[in-house]
Amino acid sequence: MKVDLTPQVGDQVEVFGHKGRFEILERGVGADGQYRFRLQRLRDGFVLEDVRYPEMNYPPEERVRRALPQILAECGPRPEDFQEGEGAYEVQADEMYDGTPRVMVKFHLKPEVVPSVEKARIWNDFFAKLNDKFLFSMDVGSWLQFSVKEYRSMLRAAS
């Protein structure tokens, strides 16, 4: 499987020689036939013009976020307890207790799901498939972990 990481307008990238994350504002083709980008730093709005593709890099969580829909499609159906559609999962970057970079993918459970040992085995089998696909298809550049996130309504949390 080849994951398509062709930069798109709106993607967040890092640029060699510059600090911080940038958003791709425009993508075009230069006189040399190569992609050229116009980028804006998220922190302070600084704009870079005429940035070449080799100067940019996707941060680990962006690589996972971009590849996940394609990898999910190849792993077959998700467990029936997982939500589908927009907002069915979230991808976050952080560090483990020892400072190791980590990308965490949290799948949202349907509101009526009550976690159990049997369900956890099904989820772990699915996560193992996902992990294998990521290992063989792309270098994430960080420790990759999967988990579930239980839905809690305001009413349920208050009780």
CA pair distance 11, 24, nearest whole angstrom: 6
**pTM for this predicted structure:** 0.76
CA pair distance 35, 63, nearest whole angstrom: 19
CA pair distance 63, 59, nearest whole angstrom: 6
Domain residue ranges of the chain, discontinuous segments joined by +: 12-57, 60-158
pLDDT digits (tens, 9 = 90+) for 132-151: 888 776 666 568 888 898 86
* Type of residue found at 24: I
Tally of CB atoms within 10 A around 30: 11
CATH architecture of 60-158: 2-Layer Sandwich (3.30)
pLDDT digits (tens, 9 = 90+) for 57-70: 888 888 888 888 88
